[in-house]
Structure 1
Amino acid sequence: MILTNAQIVLPDEVINGTLTIDQGVIQSIDQGGVNLPGVIDCQGGYVTPGMIELHTDNMEKHFTPRPGVAWPGIQAFKVHDAQMISAGITTVFDAVSIGDVIEGSERLNNLTRMVAALTESKARSLSRAEHLLHLRCEVSHADTLEMFLSLMEGNTAQLVSVMDHSPGQRQFASLEKYRQYYQGKYKLSDSELASFIERQTEASRQYSDPYRKAICALCNQRSIPLASHDDATQAHVDESHDLNMVVAEFPTTAEAAIAAHKKGMFVMMGAPNVVRGGSHSGNIAAYELASEGVLDILSSDYYPASLLDAAFKIAELDSNDYDLSAAVSLVTRNPADAVKLKDRGRIESGAQADLIWSNRTNDHIHIEHVWKAGKRVY
């Protein structure tokens, strides 16, 4: 396969050129176009690496499309997969939550169903993207450690993140934002919310520290990459670094992001944060971290189509030094490097031919086609 007349986004520059792919691997990258039978003319559009998503909750919504509705696992997973690949995401770390802040929630009920569907879909080659398992561990939940150990007996996670969503700290340092979020999400009365806050505060005090340490110790023993979540202070970052975490997911302050970046952790922020122009929780905006030069990875989080748009938006902002190559690396090369996937996330000879062809349509980047290991999947 030959792609020509393309603006090829390389790790350090953008060239107008031609890509040659054979056996699912990039063979050569050449300046200029070619006029040969059967070539694919990209019409001056962009060719970028297929994107790598380290943290998405997108699968969950397809398993419970409405309250009380449990959709069959394989069908739900295939719809999720189609949505990811149409967004240009060719490698997906599906974030599956262990523990939740609400007892008996659909999130807990869906845990084993989602893991089983992911595993079966891979075994039956039913997906277009490559799906890997990301276990999100809510360490303020009483059953989290037991569930984590049980899951790890039969499955190999490729990424584990550790989080504590209890009130008054990290993502919810503002109790007002906490009340607004959980009262709106779960329709709690004022008295129910007060009891809920009390229970969550006590659960965090009792479980968070020992569970965090136990989970990280096991992952370090098995060489599974670790991610922190919602670090807000220098102390949070110091703890995460001491536990050998390599990714800082969604730090809530500039202080934490700058400290994590200095320690060599990959600072991840949400692509919806970029597209919307700020955090829905009132925390630091991703573009502010870009202006500081400490933004390393973008994640689509809850909205897959935000990822490519966000990378191009970062490149277009005058407030930072990210050119298009650096901005595209936020969704390709950098996440690959963070979890040691050396065969993808960049356009270079010998790399896997996971590719996106897109064109600019006004202020939107429109995806024409996506290839996974040289096979067209969209």
Structure 2
Amino acid sequence: MTMPDLRLVGAQVLTSDGLADQPLALAGGRIVDGGKARDVDLSGFMVMPGIVDIHGDAFEKHLAPRRGAMKDLDQGLIATEAELAASGITTAILAQFYSWEGGMRGAEFAGRVFATLEQVRDRLVTDMRPQLRFEISMTGEYPAVTEMVAAHRIPYLVFNDHLPHEELARGKRPPRLTGQALRIGRNPEKHLEYMQALHAGMDEVPAMLDELCADLTARGVLLGSHDDHTADDRANWRARGVRIAEFPETLEAAEAAHGAGDAVLLGAPNTVRGGSHKGNVSATDLVVMGYCDALASDYHYPSLRRAALQLADSGVLDLAGAWGLISSGPARVLGLADRGELTAGNRADLVVLDAETCNVCATLSGGQISYLSGEAARRFLA
């Protein structure tokens, strides 16, 4: 249920020019100019645009908190929303694998996740949207991917290649293979044979990708590549109409993407940590260079807020610019023109932070409260 018309007063509201002491009026799930509304005194708080998470897979732990516990997907998605809301996220892209890894990252499970999301959508406040992460080596699955995208109206697909090609080319057994196979109930030797067959078929991939990308582009699907390593990698993807570069691994790849006008997404955990856990290029360095259009939660939802505030506190960007990397920036990449900024006509997507601690105290998505705590709750409900 949408909240009654409200006017938030006394808070510092984030505008494109920075924090401003001005009221913010909400009506019918939108931000409006003026109008009659009940005042909510938010003195001591900051009101920020709702966070748009453009890529996150932390929902996996809610869908399967223990091995084999993957039956109540609806409850898992509802639990995911609770974490999203507590993290100030009002729009979330759920990055679901379609991978040779099987199990929770297999094709059958992906279909279940997308179907369940459709079933529970009316029970959610947060705008949760699907993303399909497809492993390009799965040449036999290309027709099925097209069907899945159409059946579930998936708006955003990203191409991955996580096969350990180097080890497979040498005829070596990839690390963690046995544990990975046993976790999904597959014989380790059969799993290795499957991986070797996918590796051997990589020569077929470029032509198949050309056709698949053309088809998906014609359907209006946003396309991204994952972990680009070189400028040539990015150029090849761009030639197919893939204009989003998720988590480029090197300065060369990020620079090539930015220079050609492709959107560059970086990981918020990388920014918070000060570097990549895999030894890739530092997200903070790329932000400093201006090679970042949006930060993504990747695998940790709370890192989005922390990364933006850290960038602002360290002087890398002003607060409006830093917060824009988790609000207006990702909204722009996704083509969502109705959110990301607290301007009249936009959705009433916002997060209320304690001015001293910067902790999330309230989150509203489309004018509906998805999270409310402490003193902010008392103020809203008074």
Question: Following TM superposition, by how much is the alpha carbon of 1:157 offset from its aligned partner in structure 2, in angstroms?
Answer: 1.1
**1:107 maps onto 2:105 in alignment:** yes
Deviation at 1:77, TM superposition (A): 1.3
- CA separation of 1:331/1:41 partners in 2, compared to 1, >3 Å: closer, same or farther? same
Match 1:377 to one of 358, 370, 377: 370
Tell me the residue number matched to 2:202: 205
Quickly say closer, same or farther: Cα 1:242–1:277, change in 2 above 3 A: same
Aligned 8 A contact 2:155 2:220 in 1: no
Deviation at 1:42, TM superposition (A): 2.1
Aligned positions, number: 356
**CA-to-aligned-CA distance 1:115-146 (integer Å, 9 cap, x gap):** 11111112xx1112012221111111244313
Structure 1 residue 204: Cα displacement: 6.2
- CA displacement at 1:208 relative to structure 2: 3.4
Matches of 2:157 and 2:271, distance apart in 1? 24
2:281 alignment partner, one of 272, 280, 284: 284
Could you tell me which residue of structure 2 aligns to residue 33 of structure 1?
Answer: none
- Within a 5 Å distance, the mapping from 1:35-114 to structure 2 comes to 38-98=38-98, 100-102=99-101, 104-108=102-106, 109-114=108-113
Q: Does the CA contact (< 8 Å) of 1:52 and 1:345 recur in 2?
A: yes
Letter in 2 for 1:312: L
* Larger CA deviation: 208-217 vs 302-311: 208-217
1:120 — aligned with what? Answer: 119
Verify: 1:22 aligned to 2:17, yes or no.
no
Partner of 1:134: 131
Change (3 A) 1:262 1:184: farther
Is the Cα–Cα contact under 8 Å of residues 136 and 162 in structure 1 kept in the other structure? yes
Q: Distance in 2 between matches of 1:143 and 1:86?
A: 40
TM-score normalised by L of structure 1: 0.85
1:222 lines up with 2:215 in the alignment: no
Asked if structure 1 preserves the Cα contact closer than 8 Å seen for 2:94 and 2:129, the reply is yes
Matches within 5 A, 1:130-279: 130-167=127-164, 199=196, 202-203=199-200, 205-279=202-276
Q: Which amino acid aligns with 2:30?
A: V
Query: In structure 1, what is the equivalent of residue 327 of structure 2?
Result: 332
Residues 49 and 355 in structure 1, CA contact (< 8 A), matched pair in contact too: yes
Task: Give 2:377's aligned residue.
Answer: none
For the residues of structure 2 that align with 1:316 and 1:268, how far apart are their CA atoms? 21
CA distance 1:115–1:200, change in 2 (3 Å): same
Cα offset, 1:232, TM superposition: 1.1
Distance 1:210 1:317 in 2: 46
Shift of 1:148: 0.5
User: How much identity, in percent, do the aligned residues show?
Assistant: 30
Q: Which amino acid aligns with 1:304?
A: Y
- Tell me by how many angstroms 1:304 deviates: 1.0
The residue number in structure 1 matching 2:374 is none
Provide the C-alpha distance between the structure 2 equivalents of 1:101 and 1:162, rounded to a whole number of angstroms: 13
Q: Deviations over 1:86-117 (max 9, x none)?
A: 2111111211212x243x43321421210111
**SS of residue in 2 equivalent to 1:377:** strand
Opposite residue 337 of structure 1, the aligned amino acid is R
| CA deviation after TM superposition for structure 1 residue 195, in Å | 5.3
Do 1:167 and 1:197's aligned partners in 2 also have CA atoms closer than 8 Å?
Answer: no
C-alpha distance 352-204 of structure 1, shift in aligned 2 (>3 A): farther
Deviation at 1:11, TM superposition (A): 2.6
Shift of 1:241: 1.8
Question: SS in structure 1 opposite 2:118?
Answer: helix
- Between 1:287-296 and 1:239-248, the stretch displaced more is 239-248
Matched, 1:310 2:315: no
TM-score, normalised with respect to structure 2 = 0.85
After superposing the two structures, state which structure 1 stretch, 206-215 or 249-258, moved more. Answer: 206-215
Alignment counterpart, residue 2 of structure 1, candidates 1, 7, 27: 7
Contact 1:261 1:267 in 2 (8 A): yes
- Give the drift of 1:370: 0.7
Uncovered stretches (5+) of structure 2, i.e. residues with no partner = 1-5, 372-382
In structure 1, what is the equivalent of residue 376 of structure 2?
none
Secondary structure (helix, strand or coil) at the match of 2:305 reads: helix
Q: Write out the 4+ residue segments of structure 1 that deviate beyond 3 Å after TM superposition.
A: 178-188, 194-198
Task: Mark the runs of 5 or more structure 1 residues left unpaired by the alignment.
Answer: 30-35
Cα deviations by residue, 1:239-295 (Å, 9 ceiling, x for unpaired): 122222232100000111111111111110111111222112111111010121111
Aligned partner of 2:297 in structure 1 is 300
- Paired with 1:187 and 1:269, the residues of 2 have a C-alpha distance of 32
Q: In the aligned structure 1, how far is the partner of 2:68 from the partner of 2:366?
A: 38
Structure 2 letter corresponding to 1:119 = E
